[in-house]
Structure 1
Amino acid sequence: MYKAYKYRIYPTDDQKASLAKAFGCCRWYWNFALNLCQETYLKTGKGLSRGYILGLLPGLKKEYPWLTDAYSQSLQVVALNLSTAYKNFFEKRAQLPRFKSKHGRQSLSYPANVKFEGDYIKLPGKIGLVYCHRHREFEGTIKTVTVSQNSDGQYYASVLVDDGKETPSQSTEGKAVGIDVGLTHFAITSDG
């Protein structure tokens, strides 16, 4: 079963600069791919696959050398997230994907190669060891780590962990009771 843990991290000034570059690269790639998807749809009436979007990366890195400031797998996650966003839109679970702004919340994901070493989290690429305030320990294998910066400038690491346990099944045995919180009475149950 997957569980998520969110920890506050405290990068140094150099690490903040590296994270800002990585955020910018991922944001730029998202906006580039989203624009290309929209233009392709207007011209042909068809969308672009995740494989096609991923195939653009090597050429883009040659054309725009600053894209190498971001960890390569973080850029690959951008293509996965964009295809998932379109899938959710077409299945009416979400709105149409929108362009990302450099103002407000920034994020990037690391799908592998992240480790905890004592009070530090080791991020791949040019970031390295970042001090992490871990208020809760976890058991299991790390699946994905998303590093984000909120609009207040605080940094967080959201860690998705597979603890190896099975998801508990929902029980249909027993009796279910509905509770209504009202104005005249604090709570009324469905069985009176």
Structure 2
Amino acid sequence: MTPEREQPARDAVSSRVWTIPNILSFVRLALVPVFLWLIIRGDDALALLVLVISSVTDYLDGVIARRFHQITRLGQLLDPAADRLFIFATLIGLSVRDIVPWWFLAVILARDLMLLGIGIGLANRGYGPLPVHHLGKVATFCLFYALPIIMLGQAFPAVAPIADPIGWAFAVWGAFLYWWAGAVYLRESIRVARLR
């Protein structure tokens, strides 16, 4: 068999559950409540440590999945779910402590609820989820790094004058891109629905 014919099989998405990347994703999901508890308690340094561990496992699960051909349907769901839950855990914890305003949490949550509605609407018409748009990835990147930078200023007040403006710049830009990507998904889902 030629390498060209082997490649699609090697890159195929499997339905396996117990792979190393999936186990790492399960570990990340298990760390979310620990992370939230630490933030609410005000243990920002320990919460940041948990976040670093989560980020390392996130990186490793992607590398292992691609390198050892362990990309699975479950992994494609778990990985973004863990990212979203860490973002929400950070927003909830920092909102409870009045570090992040509740309206900011509402802005992010409203966009995800809109996408959930879009996903349900597409599924009812027989379509799978839309492919991830680059804007959505950039927005998630901004939010995923904005909130820990804000936490860094809380954990180490000496760096707060630098960390806070950078963190909030990432957060506001991330929220804007989050909604821009949401508008792109909405437009695309309307276009797809009209094709039927």
Using the size of structure 1 for normalisation, the TM-score is: 0.30
- Between Structure 1 and Structure 2, the one with more strand by share is 1
Q: Which has the higher contact order (CA 8 A, sep 6+)?
A: 1
Larger Rg: 1
Using the size of structure 2 for normalisation, the TM-score is: 0.29
